[in-house]
Each structure stands twice: as structure tokens, then as C-alpha cells.
Amino acid sequence: MERISPAFSVTPAPGGIVQPLKATARSVESPAEAVRLSQRLACECLARLEGPGINPVLRLFKLDESTQSHVRRLLERLVEVPQGGTAQWLADWRSGRGFLDTLSCAYLEALRTRAPDGVAKTAVHAELLARLIRAGANLLKWDYLRYGPVENELWVFMGAAYLEAERTGMSNMLVSLRKDRGTQTSVEREFIRAVALGCASLDQLSPDSIEIADRLVRYVLPALRISTQPSSGACFGLQVGLPASPSRVAAGLTSREFQRYFLPAAVGGVFDELASVIERGLVPAAIATGPRARERVLATLFHLRRLWSDTPPMRRYRRHALSARFGSICGLENLSACLVGDAPLWSERAEWMLCNVSRGGVGLLVPVEDGSRVRIGELVGLRMEDGVAWQVGVIRRIAQAAEGPAFVGVELIARDPTVVLADDGRVASEVLLCDPIRQGRTVRLAGSADALPVNGIVYLNLDGRILKLKPIALMVRGNDFVLRNYQLL
């Protein structure tokens, strides 16, 4: 369970290290500052772990517990304003991840210096293993908040902690990680949560949906299992203790490569029951609150159900390797202005590189500075270098690399769209016409939610002709835009 030491360390202060953080952080204004303070205190705890006794470990537990409220506040701020490219967003993200990284290093050091004699086969040992895995799972989630790179070494120490708990018979020992609450957990539960997050394709979700996915995982955790055999419902194989994330496996297939299997099949009934409640407008506050909570939770729930079904998600169209340069522009307003000739390209040097193409979308390699700015669900316009026609798509996947360009997967929704005026009887607004007008055929419009109301008739002014459109279905709700299908009346 070797782990890289944190980026900085401090000299331990004399006397006790961890005072109650509420008292220590009274003068701290932001959660990011409080978390950075906690990271420094965690480094002091890490230095003190070289000494004997169990008290340094208990002080580390107390620091972990008292910092979580600040970590949650920081996380709420990050998902509310998912501007991954801004300096402030990145600084806040690094603060949270830095604390979690230092915390995991401290827990690993506590295990190294105190096992097998110091805290082995005790409740403190079980709590230490559970806290280590929880810190690793939280690091996994924080890595996905900015779409990687995800550190595969997390699976090494989380798997080693899980195997250690199994070996010592403590995997299901109940421990309390929050002394002010009555809830309890175990090493088994914490490891299942980490595995579920690793099997949730978080790189396809927006930051707020990543948090909702984690809360849904916690909600259905009693229905999730790990098995040594690929029994019915086993969808993913685990190489426990190795630097490898869970892999999708065919139903019932046994492989020497995997030591454990993730079985999410039993969550189907739980998801069905939860969906029926949410569809009536009753969204549990523990899962999501605020505008569009119902829609966001149902979309994330459907995402998990699709991934965890017995039948793995299949690509509708075959991908083909292809190389080309593209110019790009992101956002509905910017794209509309560009299409009518009022705005320049976001990337005038056409540095977005095509790497594969299918009938339904494209995969692109994007420069680091652009990769940190794009978001899941964002509308993007693409134009081939020296080309004329625009293609419009929705960003569906982002994968940041440790070095070099990021990968961005785009679902194409229109080829050669045009900007038209849509009038809902109140005001005329610019929208994108994604399909040619043909009698008896449906057409798709992309625009702001205000410009394209749910049940409202829309009138298009197209080259002097007035066309009447009736909404049929919402096809996509993205960042600051909707894509609706209409019937031509």
C-alpha cells in the first residue's frame, strides 16, 4: 500500500496538534481556506505518526471528522459553478484533493507503523481501514470532477486495505466514522462504494451529476454486492490490489484475471421504486435539491441503470480512425453569433484534432487549455480546417490526460445548421434549425429553454415564410440549451 508523500510538510508544533477545527477555523472565511488549514494539520499528524502509541491515530480520526463539513461545502461550490478552466475553480479543487491525498498518506503511514502489533485486529484497525478506503473513493470522485487524470494507484491501496480486512476477519465489523451521527459503516461497504463509483462512467456526467451519482450509490449500497464468483448479475470484474479500475465482463464469464466481481443486479427494484417516487415530484433531499432536481436525478438514475444492466451498453455505430483538424466554438450564444458571421472562432488555429468518427459522433484530441474549459452537456460547433459547413454536437465525454491533450467525445446533432427566428407568441428568439424543412417530416430546434417552451406552439420565420411547429418531445437538455423535436403543422 505504498503511497507518494504529500507535496509539502510542516514541522510539528509542540503539544497537541489537532484542536477542534471549529475553534481553529473561526477566522477562516472560505471552505477552501479551512481545508488547506486541515491539510497542514494532517501533515503534522503524518510527522507525529513516527512516534509510538495510538493517540496520533485518534487525533487523525478527529481531524478527518471535523474537516468533512468544510470539504462538503467546498464540493457544493465546485458543482454549483462547474467552471473547470477558471483559476479559482482549479485552486479550490486542488485544495480539496490535496487534503484528501494527504489524509490517505497519513492513514497508510499509520497502518505501516502500527500494524500488526499496534492497532491490529481491533476496532481502531477496522476504522483505520474503512477511513483509508473512504479517502480513496473520495479522491476518485474528485479526480472525475475535472475528468482526470484518474490515479490508478488509488485501486492499489484501497484493494490492499480491503484484502487486509478480509484476512483479519474485520471486513464487516461496524464502525462509526461520524461520532455525531448514529450511522455506521464497514470496510466492505466503503469498498463497494468505491467500486460502484469506478463502474459508473463518471467521465460522462457533469460535476453536479457526479455528486448525485455518489448519493445514489450510497442510497442503494445495501443492494450492492461483491462476490468471488461471477454469479448471476455480475457485470464487472475486479483485480483487487492492482493498479486497474473495474472492467466490464460478459455475464457468467469466469476469468483468472479477476479475483472479485461486482454485482449490481439487485438495485433494479430499488431504482424502480425510487424512480416512481421521484416522477411524482418527491425527490429525497439527501439525493438532490434545487431547480431541476427531479430531472437531474432521473437522468443520473437512468445512466446507472443502463451501465449496470445485464446487457452492456452497445455502440450504435462503428468507429473509424480518421485524422483532421477542426476549428471550434462552444456555447449556444457564441455558436449562433459565429453562424451569422458576428463572432470569431474560439480556436482560430483549428487545434482540435479528429481521432475517430462514427455516424453518430466524433472523438477529438483537445489542447490542455481548451480541455479544462469544456463541460459535459455543452453545445459545440465544429468546422473542418479550410471547410465551410458547420457541424453541431453535444459534449458527452471528457478524459484529461496526465500529459498532452484531453480526449473529448461529441455526439453530433446537426450538420450544416442555420440560425432562424422562433416566436412563441411573446418574443422572437434566435434558435438553431438542425434539420431541413420537409413536408410531413419532423424538425429539431436547439435554443434556450425560454425560447423553446415545453408545450408551446412555435412559429418560425424562414426566408419570409411563417411555419407553425408543435413540440413532440424533449431530446436533449444541455448546459444553457434544449433540443426539441417538432411536428410541422
Residue 84: per-residue pLDDT: 55
pLDDT tens across the length of the chain (489 residues)? 445 444 333 333 334 444 444 444 444 567 888 888 888 888 888 777 766 677 888 888 999 998 988 999 999 988 887 655 578 888 999 999 999 999 999 999 888 876 555 555 578 889 999 999 999 999 999 999 988 888 889 999 999 999 999 998 999 999 988 877 778 999 999 999 999 999 999 999 999 999 999 999 999 999 999 998 887 778 899 999 999 999 988 765 666 788 899 998 888 889 889 998 988 888 888 898 887 888 889 999 999 998 898 777 767 778 888 888 888 888 888 888 888 875 555 544 457 999 999 888 999 999 877 777 788 889 999 988 877 788 999 999 998 887 888 899 999 999 889 888 888 878 888 899 999 888 878 999 999 888 888 777 888 887 778 888 888 988 888 888 889 999 988
Give 176: exposed, middle or buried? Use CB within 10 Å, 0-12, 13-18, 19+.
Answer: middle
Q: How many CA atoms lie within 13 A of 4 on its CB side?
A: 10
Q: How far apart are CA 57 and CA 60, in angstroms?
A: 5
DSSP secondary structure, 51-94, as one string: SSSSHHHHHHHHHHHHHHHHHHHHHHHHHHS--TTSHHHHHHHH
SS3 432: strand
How deeply is 277 buried, as exposed, middle or buried, from its count of CB atoms within 10 A (0-12, 13-18, 19+)? exposed
SS3 488: strand
* d(C-alpha 91, C-alpha 32), whole Å: 8
DSSP code of residue 413? E
Are 329 and 345 spatial neighbours (Cβ–Cβ below 8 Å)? Answer: yes
Per-residue confidence (pLDDT) for residue 81, from 0 to 100? 73
User: Please, is 15 exposed, middle or buried when counting C-beta atoms within 10 Å of its C-beta (0-12, 13-18, 19+)?
Assistant: exposed
Helix (H) or strand (E) holding 446: strand 442-447
DSSP for 209-273?
HHHHHHHHHHHHGGG-EEESS--TT--EEE-TTSS---EE--TT---TT-SEEEE-TTHHHHHHH
Pair 458, 426: CB distance under 8 Å: no
User: What are the residues whose beta carbons fall under 8 Å from the beta carbon of 157, sequence distance 6 or more?
Assistant: 1, 2, 3, 104, 108, 132, 136
pTM for the structure as a whole? 0.85
Closest C-alpha among 310, 173, 167 to residue 240: 167
